[in-house]
Amino acid sequence: MKLCYRLAAIGLLFSAAVGLCVLSAGADRLASPGVEEIATDPDAYDDQPVFLFGDVVSVDTVSRTMVVSAGDDPERRFTIESVSKPTIYAIEPGGAIQVSGVLAEESAVVVSDNVVVDYRNGADFRYVYRASVLGGLLAAAGFLWFWRVEFRQLGFVPRGDR
């Protein structure tokens, strides 16, 4: 394939990737209401089931509740109630959770059925980022061991007979 055709095809595919991101943002593929919908009309969602991902702002082990911040724009805070004892003691502010439950009190409260702790604290985030950087370096090193950039053809070609 000629270089100009390849570049044109890459441009088209890049547009397709951007299109996927735009379509994905506009698609409502979760049965549960999103933070944006809840923020628009909080009263309307009381007693409705909800499934949220959020960052933990504060934890109260006595009342077994926590405050989480969900969504980016708008961001909204929810108080999560009825959190199980092992979960409330496992999580720290700065962690991240998912909650499934029912909205109450003008959607300020989620009475939880189940809480899953994704990241207990900052150390869990750091572990995932570091492991991902290491994995990325391994993949890149393995690839560049066998392939090199040929600048005249503007593409990857094998490195000899390794």
Partner 1 sequence: MAEWVSHVCLAYALFTVTGWYVDWLDSRWIAVGVVGSILPDLDRLDLLVPGDRITAITGIPFEWAGINSVGGAVVLSAIGALLFARPSHQRRGFLLLLAGAFSHLLVDLPQRYADGLMLTNKYLFPLPAWRPPTPGWYVSADRWVAIVAATVALAVFFADRYRTPAPKPVTVERPDQ
66 near 93, Cβ under 8 Å? no
Site for partner 1 contains 145 (CB under 8 A): yes
Number of chain residues interacting with partner 1 (CB under 8 A): 61
From candidates 64, 67, 76, 100, binder to partner 1 by CB under 8 A: 100
Q: How far is the CB of 19 from partner 1 (least distance, A)?
A: 8
How is residue 71 written in tokens?
């969504």
Residues 6+ apart with CB under 8 A from 106: 42, 43, 46
Site for partner 1 contains 10 (CB under 8 A): yes
Task: CB nearer to partner 1: give 24 or 86.
Answer: 24
Beta bridge partners of 78: 68
Binding stretches for partner 1 (CB under 8 A): 1, 6, 9-10, 13-14, 16-18, 20-27, 29-30, 32, 51, 72-73, 97-100, 113-120, 124-125, 127-128, 131-136, 138-140, 142-143, 145-147, 150, 153-158, 162
